[in-house]
């Protein structure tokens, strides 16, 4: 199966993750896809293919060199779920052949258009075949492109034993998009010396820095009284929640920050007079500023409680992952290997920090150095997501080159 057909098959599975189910994997479609993938890996010739009850797949391509002990064991990892930010059900992809640089009408009936003025990056791919959606769902290149690239590379290496490589390990995880992709990943059983997540964006991206990340839930307790008799009695939890929200720096939000700048991001708000909950994510590349951001939220809660009474506002905070840079810098050869491989296959490396996180960030802190490599797609988590076919093909070629004995 060629890489295009493989990817189109993968996006037919609905694998949207759901943080509210408290299950692993969080949705049944992920396990359905995992069973398909496990069978496919066996069919193409990988060995020791396992699929556990949590939906994690691990497989092996044995080394084909004589002195195997002198060659590192390299892993390649991607995630099976798609983001809940947009529907992943009934994805209807189509290929725009030899893209001409004009706006792409995704859905004529509903006037959904991929506008080059809003998404100018697409102009980098003029003349290329591009896979798009019908404008009603995301595409799923994040991260089914990564999976297709890894599987296709393994199939190529099996078909070309003249390409010498050490032992390779493949890992596919569920629930990365809701922050649980590494929860049940057995680093020891995986047994790689280092690995790469194929989970980045545009061609050439290579990342070994990411945000430090935390989740914060702020619950405000109010008192409801009939509005006609509410004088000095009612405490409207929604109004207090709004007060907290506007106390945070206005410009330190995702829509006003870039590069290494961190932010507070209000991702959810549910409320009544009696009770309101604000859900935040906190992000910063710098660990000191990250800790300062958390302390600032705790300070605001204490301040509001002094005004309205202790216990009016409760805060729950948990760290999600940390910047992998501190774990990668001591083993920079894992990054340099990719830079060299990119140059050898005609890709210009684009090394930049991730304004987000990957499974690789958590795995790096668990003893598996794991930088992130492009998967090729753009506009992830959106119905305007698209995937240039040459980018996907080049990513698979890159995996082959990384795996090859240096």
Assess whether 150 and 266 both reside in one domain: no
Q: What is the pLDDT of residues 335-361, one digit of tens each?
A: 999 999 999 999 999 999 989 887 899
Assess whether 60 and 88 both reside in one domain: yes
Assess whether 181 and 58 both reside in one domain: yes
Assess whether 170 and 285 both reside in one domain: no
- Catalytic sites, residue numbers: 81, 176
- Looking up residue 315, the CATH number of its domain turns out to be 3.30.70.360
Q: Which residue, 320, 346, 370, sits at the end of a domain?
A: 320
Residues 373, 398: contact at Cβ < 8 Å? yes
Assess whether 204 and 252 both reside in one domain: no
pLDDT value at residue 64 = 95
Range of the domain at 216: 212-320
Assess whether 314 and 199 both reside in one domain: no
pLDDT value at residue 69 = 87
Q: Which residue, 256, 286, 320, sits at the end of a domain?
A: 320
Number of CB atoms found within 10 A of residue 169's CB? 21
Assess whether 221 and 273 both reside in one domain: yes
Assess whether 164 and 126 both reside in one domain: yes
Assess whether 178 and 141 both reside in one domain: yes
Distance of CA 299 to the CA centre of its chain: 31
Q: What residue ranges of the chain have pLDDT lower than 50?
A: none
Q: What is the pLDDT of residues 51-83, one digit of tens each?
A: 999 999 999 999 999 888 899 999 999 999 999
Element containing residue 31 per DSSP (H, E): helix 28-44
Could you give the CA distance from residue 208 to residue 202 in angstroms, rounded to a whole number? 15
Q: In whole angstroms, how large is the CA radius of gyration of the chain?
A: 23
Assess whether 151 and 25 both reside in one domain: yes
pLDDT value at residue 226 = 94
Residue whose C-alpha is closest to residue 150's, from 173, 171, 178, 176? 171
pLDDT value at residue 45 = 98
pLDDT value at residue 356 = 83
Residues 128, 28: contact at Cβ < 8 Å? no
Assess whether 205 and 349 both reside in one domain: yes
Q: Would you call the peptide bond into 143 cis, given omega within 30 degrees of 0 as the criterion?
A: yes
- Looking up residue 31, the CATH number of its domain turns out to be 3.40.630.10
Q: Which residue, 320, 349, 379, sits at the end of a domain?
A: 320
**What's the domain count of the chain?**
2
Assess whether 279 and 292 both reside in one domain: yes
Q: Is 183 exposed, middle or buried (0-12, 13-18, 19+ CB in 10 A)?
A: middle
Residues 323, 207: contact at Cβ < 8 Å? no
């Amino acid at each position: 199966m060629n890489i295009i057909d493989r990817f189109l098959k993968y996006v037919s599975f609905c694998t949207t993750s759901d943080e509210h189910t408290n299950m692993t994997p969080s949705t049944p479609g992920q396990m359905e896809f995992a069973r398909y993938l496990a069978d496919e890996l066996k069919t193409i010739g990988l060995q020791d293919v396992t699929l556990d009850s949590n939906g994690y797949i691990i497989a092996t391509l044995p080394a084909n060199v004589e002195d195997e002990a002198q060659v590192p064991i390299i892993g390649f990892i991607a995630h099976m779920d798609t983001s809940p930010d947009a529907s992943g059900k009934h994805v209807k992809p189509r290929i725009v052949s030899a893209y001409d640089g004009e706006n792409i009408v995704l859905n004529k009936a509903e006037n959904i258009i991929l506008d080059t003025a809003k998404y100018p990056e697409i102009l980098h791919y003029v003349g290329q075949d591009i896979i798009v959606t019908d404008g009603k769902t995301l595409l799923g290149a994040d991260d089914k492109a990564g999976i297709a690239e890894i599987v296709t590379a393994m199939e190529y290496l099996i078909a070309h034993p003249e390409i010498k490589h050490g032992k390779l390990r493949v890992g596919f995880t569920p629930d990365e998009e809701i922050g649980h992709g590494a929860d049940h990943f057995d680093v020891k059983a995986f047994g790689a010396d280092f690995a790469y997540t194929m989970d980045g964006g545009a061609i050439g991206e290579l990342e070994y820095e990411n945000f430090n990340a935390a989740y914060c839930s702020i619950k405000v307790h109010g008192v409801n009284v009939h509005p006609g008799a509410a004088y000095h009695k009612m405490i409207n939890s929604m109004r207090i929640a709004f007060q907290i929200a506007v106390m945070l720096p206005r410009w330190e939000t995702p829509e006003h920050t870039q590069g290494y700048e961190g932010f507070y991001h209000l991702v959810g708000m549910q409320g009544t007079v009696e009770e309101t909950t604000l859900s935040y994510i906190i992000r910063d590349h710098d660990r000191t500023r990250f800790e300062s951001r958390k302390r600032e939220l705790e300070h605001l809660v204490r301040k509001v409680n002094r005004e309205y009474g202790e216990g009016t506002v409760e805060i729950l905070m948990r760290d999600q992952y940390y910047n992998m840079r501190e774990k990668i810098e001591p083993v920079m050869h894992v990054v340099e290997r990719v830079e060299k491989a990119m140059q050898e296959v005609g890709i210009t490396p684009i090394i930049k920090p991730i304004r987000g996180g990957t499974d690789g960030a958590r795995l790096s802190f668990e003893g598996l150095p794991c930088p992130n490599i492009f998967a090729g797609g753009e506009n992830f988590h959106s119905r305007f997501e698209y995937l240039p076919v040459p980018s996907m093909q080049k990513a698979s070629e890159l995996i082959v080159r990384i795996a090859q004995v240096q």
